[in-house]
Structure 1
Amino acid sequence: MRAADRTDLPRLLDLYDHLHPDDARCPPGDAVAVFDRLLRCEGSAVLVGAIGDALVTTCTLVVIPNLTRGAKAYALIENVVTHADHRGAGFGRAVLRAAVERAWDAGCYKVMLMTGSTKPSTLAFYEAAGFEQSKTGFQVRRAAIRPA
């Protein structure tokens, strides 16, 4: 497991097709700008797991400064996905473990993630990775993004 760099972007965008196959794809030129902006958030990273040159798992870790909890930051994990051909082999748990360790190294007091899935296997995956279902999440969204 390692932090992604710009050279990973084409393969990372391919891997995201396994997360939301019907989503509009981020144009490559925009991906560079978004990736660079994300990396300007201290402690944040897109983490990847690879077999050879193939990216098989990823998640995004965002470290958020905080004015409560003694000014301890907190972290959010998003875009967790493992390539469909490599699921069930421990790659997803490994990338989450790497993200949590990175958050602890950044001084975070908690790490959060949300899933829209209600599948028992997905919920069991997150619990097996050390996360507990302990809060109620709320969100508001803009109109759904449709493929171009």
Structure 2
Amino acid sequence: MAPEAPRVRPLVAADTDAALRLYNELTFGPETQATAAFAAVLAHPGTTVFGAEHDGDIRAMVTLHLMPNVTWNARPYGLIENVVTAAKWRGHGLGKAVLTHAVHAAWAQNAYKVMLMTGTKRGAMGFYENVGFSSEDKHAMVIRQN
């Protein structure tokens, strides 16, 4: 018998603790307890954090930012950030479920593309390629403020 599919839904303020636990599994830096930062992300126009819920537990999440682009007659493009699955639930299809859901949500909003960046040390390229992402067209570049 196939495992039950997770319920994917937008996260809300009541999910803050679960989201912060997942953010802390994602980051290589210091742990966060930034409930105000999560609230700011949830309140940001065009931004949705989707979570995969199973048995009342948020086990994976992804952030989708939709932004208009003048060169596409204000059609939005999507930017994916913070794809994370709780370590003990990796390999169960939860990351793929939230990521696929976010991409479909972008298409439903008439986005003309969805893009993401992944860290070189994470070993996640194959995961993203299996969902349909490609690195053939673009090269990611980052500048950070210390």
Same topology, TM > 0.5: yes
Q: 1:45-85 CA distances to partner (integer Å, 9 max, x unpaired)?
A: 00000112211100000000110123211010000000000
Determine which of 85, 88, 103 is the counterpart of 1:85.
Answer: 88
Determine which of 45, 53, 64 is the counterpart of 2:56.
Answer: 53
| Range that drifts further, 89-98 or 65-74 | 65-74
Show structure 2 runs of 5+ residues with no match.
1-7
Residue 125 in 1 paired to residue 127 in 2?
A: yes
Q: 1:18: Cα distance to partner?
A: 1.0
Q: 1:24: Cα distance to partner?
A: 4.2
**Alignment partner, residue 15 of structure 1:** 22
- Alpha-carbon distance in structure 1 between the residues aligned to 2:72 and 2:120: 30
Letter in 2 for 1:73: P
Runs of 4+ deviating beyond 6 Å: none
- Residues 139 and 27 of structure 1, relative CA distance in 2, 3 Å threshold: same
Secondary structure of 1:97's counterpart equals helix
**Alignment partner, residue 112 of structure 2:** 109
- Residues 27 and 71 of structure 1, relative CA distance in 2, 3 Å threshold: closer
Contact (CA 8 Å) 1:6, 1:35: kept in 2 or not? no
Q: What TM-score, normalized to structure 2? A: 0.87
How many pairs does the alignment contain?
Answer: 138
Q: 1:22: Cα distance to partner?
A: 2.7
Q: 1:118: Cα distance to partner?
A: 4.3
Letter in 1 for 2:63: T
Residue 71 in 1 paired to residue 77 in 2?
A: no
Secondary structure of 2:70's counterpart equals coil
Contact (CA 8 Å) 2:24, 2:31: kept in 1 or not? no
- Alpha-carbon distance in structure 1 between the residues aligned to 2:141 and 2:102: 23
Show structure 1 runs of 5+ residues with no match.
144-148
**Over aligned residues, Cα RMSD in angstroms?**
1.6
Contact (CA 8 Å) 2:22, 2:86: kept in 1 or not? yes
Q: What TM-score, normalized to structure 1? A: 0.86
Identity of matched residues, %: 35
- Alpha-carbon distance in structure 2 between the residues aligned to 1:29 and 1:77: 21
**Alignment partner, residue 41 of structure 2:** 35
- Residues 36 and 80 of structure 1, relative CA distance in 2, 3 Å threshold: closer
Residue 99 in 1 paired to residue 102 in 2?
A: yes
